[in-house]
Amino acid sequence: MSLNVLVIHGANLELLGRREPEIYGGTGLEVIREAIEHRAERRGHRVSWFSSNHEGEIVDELNRAVGKVDGILINPGAFTHTSIALRDAVLAVAVPTIEVHLSNIHAREEFRRRSMLSDVVTGQVTGLGATGTVLAFDALLDLLEGKSLPEAKHAEE
């Protein structure tokens, strides 16, 4: 069964690798894209991409995704902290959605600690840089494929 996953990047993420590398790391968006596409291909799934600095364009893309995607990976950038419209659009798509952030938004400025999406997404990965984005994609695929980790065995067994 081939899945279709939409990956969305928001404001200023095309500058990854150049913009504040001490916060966001030195890995560019193209490297992240290649890693995700490789994983999707290896697992037999399709991935589509959308990136915009404009909130309304991201909302429009989410609206177009209704009934067409199985899951979403989204890094909304600064829209995380301000966009009720983006939150509502994620709800409307009604598929498993992982919110991802390169920096740890909970350890940053007070205004960045609140995510408007956190209560409507399936999960959130934050603070692990580019690696976290790829791990979040893998986790989303596992979730969509119905995979889970085996139960932990106790040391005394």
Closest by CA to 27, choosing from 37, 17, 15, is 17
Strand partners, 46: 4
Name the β-bridge partners of 71: 5
Of 90, 103, 104, 83, whose CA–CA distance to 8 is shortest?
Answer: 90
DSSP tag of 71: E
Catalytic residue (choose from 9, 24, 81, 106): 24
Q: Which one of 9, 45, 101, 106 is the catalytic residue?
A: 101
Q: Measuring CA to CA, how many Å separate 131 from each of 26, 34, 91, 113?
A: 11, 12, 26, 21
Catalytic residue list contains 9: no
Rounded to an integer, what distance in angstroms lies between the CA atom of residue 116 and that of residue 118?
6
Structure tokens at 85: 């419209």
What is the SS3 assignment for 4? strand
Residue 81 appears among annotated catalytic residues: no
Catalytic annotation, residues: 24, 101
